[in-house]
Amino acid sequence: EHVLHLQGIRKCYGSGDLQTEILHGIDLRLQRGEFAALIGPSGSGKSTLLNLIGLLDRPSSGKLEIDGEDIARLDDAELTRLRGQRIGFVFQHHNLIPAFTAEENVAMPMLVARGRPDRDMFETAGRLLEQVGLGERKQYLANRLSGGQQQRVAIARALAMNPALVLADEPTGNLDTHSADEVFSLMREFNRHQATTFLIVTHDPRLAARCDRIIELIDGRIASDSQLS
């Protein structure tokens, strides 16, 4: 069962004589429950690829299926809905709303999806915050938490809609080693217990080595793809 299926994905920027192809035909499948690292030098196209998989941008050509849905058939509104329901994001800069509490930040994706607040979404947010070890701090404003704690809130938020796929772009890039390990271990726990699929961009070889699979992008092509366990 594939959560993600890319076939011959190309991405160009610009137009006419100034058009440059950044991704040159990417083939990639991720099965449900995989925990994969995406590595590669700066400029190799990792962010571009993540933006396509995250449905923030459309490929120039090729086939992209998320959770069995061929995105070529979806209009922009349907793409936005699919993104909200099936994909969770964790960024290097956690992008929390600083003046909202941890609980409100985690409830936000559910609020956006349902249109108005209900008790159930705050229960879910509270439970997720307990799972990331912040049950006692759910009423703290996001900007009163440490960097590592904020990234744990971001992970809880990414999981709020129980997504099929979580995309993490350098989720530990800003953290000290200890906090990075904690954040990474949390993602691993969600992966093991809920079979959530993760694709994690990282520059940290130590963390990549703790994934099940390492996909390496060089100059817009998959240069290697190795299964570690």
Chain positions contacting ligand ADP, by CB under 6 A: 13, 22, 40-48, 169-170, 173, 203
Least separation in angstroms between CB 54 and ligand ADP: 12
The CB-of-22 to ligand ADP minimum distance in angstroms stands at 4
What's the token pair of residue 1? 């069962």
User: Considering beta carbons, is residue 106 or 168 the nearer one to ligand ADP?
Assistant: 168
At what angle are helices 102-114 and 119-131 packed, to 10 degrees? 130
Nearer to ligand ADP, 48 or 124 (CB): 48
| Structure-token pair, residue 146 | 């440490």
What are the DSSP calls for 190-217, one per residue? HHHHH--EEEEE-S-HHHHTTSSEEEEE
Helix/strand/coil for 72: helix
Residue 15 or 229: which CB sits closer to ligand ADP?
15
Residue 178 Cβ vs ligand ADP, minimum distance, rounded to whole Å? 18
Please report how close the Cβ of residue 47 comes to ligand ADP at its closest, in angstroms: 3
Within 13 Å, how many C-alpha atoms sit on residue 77's CB side? 0
Closer residue to ligand ADP (CB): 142 or 201: 201
Q: Are 10 and 24 in contact (CB under 8 A)?
A: yes
Provide the minimum distance between the beta carbon of 204 and ligand ADP in the complex, in angstroms, as a whole number.
8
The amino acid that residue 51 corresponds to is: N
Q: 3-state DSSP call for residue 12? A: strand
126 or 220, CB closer to ligand ADP? 220
C-alpha distances out from residue 10 to 80, 82, 222, Å: 21, 21, 12
